[in-house]
Structure formats: structure tokens, C-alpha cells
């Protein structure tokens, strides 16, 4: 798991802070792995591309995946 929080609820203000691309990629992969998402070659390329964006963009995406997975497992 990552050493920084992935949002688990609705986000009302942009997440703050800087995370290097490697940490962003770790957060995205953790969310996708936990959700059981199988990745193809193109998916891997998109993860790398998304990870290059700032944390304020990556955090909501990882949060959406995490929240969707949590909602699915509680049904």
C-alpha cells in the first residue's frame, strides 16, 4: 500500500501535495490491484501516462476506483 492516503469519499477541494510519478503509479496500481482489475499492455501505458500528472489529478482517479470497489464489495 502507499504511504499517502487515497481519498475514500467525495472530494470537495483539490488534493494537496506533490507526489513523484513513481508514487502516483504506485497509488494507481494499488487501487486497480485491490479492485481486481486485469491490465493489458495499453492499460499499462495509460497508467504510466496518468502517473505523470499531478497528485491533484491522480488522487481522485485512484479514489474513484477505490470507492467503486468498496461499494461493489459491500453489495
User: Rounded to an integer, what distance in angstroms lies between the CA atom of residue 71 and that of residue 33?
Assistant: 16
Whether this prediction's pTM lies above 0.95 is answered by: no
Select from 12, 26, 20, 28 the least CA-distant residue to 54: 20
**Cβ(2)–Cβ(10) under 8 Å?**
no
Domain count for the chain, please give it.
1
For residue 3, the model assigns a pLDDT of 63
Q: Is 10 a domain residue?
A: no
Q: Is 16 a domain residue?
A: no
Q: One digit per residue, pLDDT tens: the chain, 75 residues?
A: 446 689 999 999 999 889 999 999 999 999 999 999 999 999 999 999 999 999 999 999 999 999 998 866 676
Q: 55 is written with which cell numbers?
A: 497528485
Q: Is 47 a domain residue?
A: yes
DSSP state of 17: S
* Domain, as residue range, for 37: 21-73
Amino acid at each position: 500500500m502507499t504511504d499517502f492516503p487515497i481519498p475514500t469519499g467525495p472530494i470537495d477541494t483539490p488534493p494537496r501535495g506533490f507526489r513523484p510519478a513513481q508514487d502516483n503509479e504506485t497509488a494507481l496500481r494499488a487501487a486497480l490491484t485491490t479492485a481486481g482489475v486485469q491490465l493489458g499492455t495499453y492499460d499499462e501505458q495509460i497508467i504510466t501516462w496518468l502517473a505523470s500528472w499531478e497528485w491533484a489529478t491522480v488522487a481522485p482517479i485512484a479514489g474513484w476506483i477505490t470507492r467503486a470497489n468498496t461499494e461493489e464489495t459491500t453489495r
